[in-house]
Amino acid sequence: MELLRLTDESFLRSAQPLLGAATPSYPTEVGRVLRQLVDRKLPKRAAILTSGTYAPPHELHRLIGHPDRVAVEEELGPLIRDSCGLDEELSVLVDLPPLPPLSEAALSSVVSSDRETVVSLNETFPTEDWLRAYVVRKWRGHVFGPPDEAVLPAVFGAATEVFRSELAVEIDESAGLLAHVHL
């Protein structure tokens, strides 16, 4: 969470002592990733997952809203990496963002249009409908690969196989095209 508060300058300044360092608390993998961040060799999108790039659509819960979302992301990344023959530990990253938390907002009370009655926000603004529309139109998951664009088609291919075998989700070729991967 602290990384979110850092400016580029403060991040780069704090990263300098760690670059290339191998200590018990900062393994060389961390130093390598920090060096890539400092050099702006950032992960590239290999696939953009949307409601239009996977099938079957009714199996959306396999991608988002999973109770162990972080564990699923951490499991899929190495499987994809190994499947396409990459060696570096953090060379493939999977991002399956959670749905916006609306349950508390839906229970909030508001004054109705007659200015006399107090109703739940859900009666005025149906949050379930909004959430369904958000998933269909706005939700985006990603598979990131190494900065080398020549490797991204292999990462995309491995991601389609891993998502099929592990989650029973078919990723359409358009997921790679949206990420500007030359398939």
For the chain, percent of residues with pLDDT exceeding 90: 32
Is the same domain home to 31 and 71? no
User: What is the domain extent for residue 13?
Assistant: 1-41
Is the same domain home to 15 and 48? no
Is the same domain home to 34 and 78? no
**Higher pLDDT pick, 118 / 85:** 85
Residue 127 is given by DSSP the state: H
pLDDT at 1: 39
Beta bridge partners, 111, equal 118
Residue 9's identity, in one-letter code, is E
Is the same domain home to 89 and 144? yes
Phi and psi at residue 54, to the nearest 5°: -140, 160
pTM of the model: 0.74
Q: Could you give the C-alpha distances from 38 to 11, 16, 75, 145, in angstroms and in order? A: 9, 9, 27, 17
Strands 93-95 and 141-145: antiparallel
What tokens appear for 115 in the block?
């200015």
| Sequential DSSP letters for 40-70 | T---EEEEEE-TTSEE-GGGGGGTSS-TTHH
Is the same domain home to 32 and 64? no
For the chain, percent of residues with pLDDT exceeding 70: 67
Q: 64, 98 in Cβ contact below 8 A?
A: yes
Q: pLDDT digits over 135-169, tens only?
A: 667 788 899 999 999 999 999 999 999 999 998 88
Q: Specify the DSSP element, H or E, that contains 157.
A: helix 152-167
Is the same domain home to 67 and 35? no
Q: Could you give the C-alpha distances from 24 to 30, 76, 134, 149, 161, in angstroms and in order? A: 11, 26, 43, 33, 35
Distance CA 45, CA 69 (A): 19
In a domain, 114, yes or no: no
In a domain, 127, yes or no: no
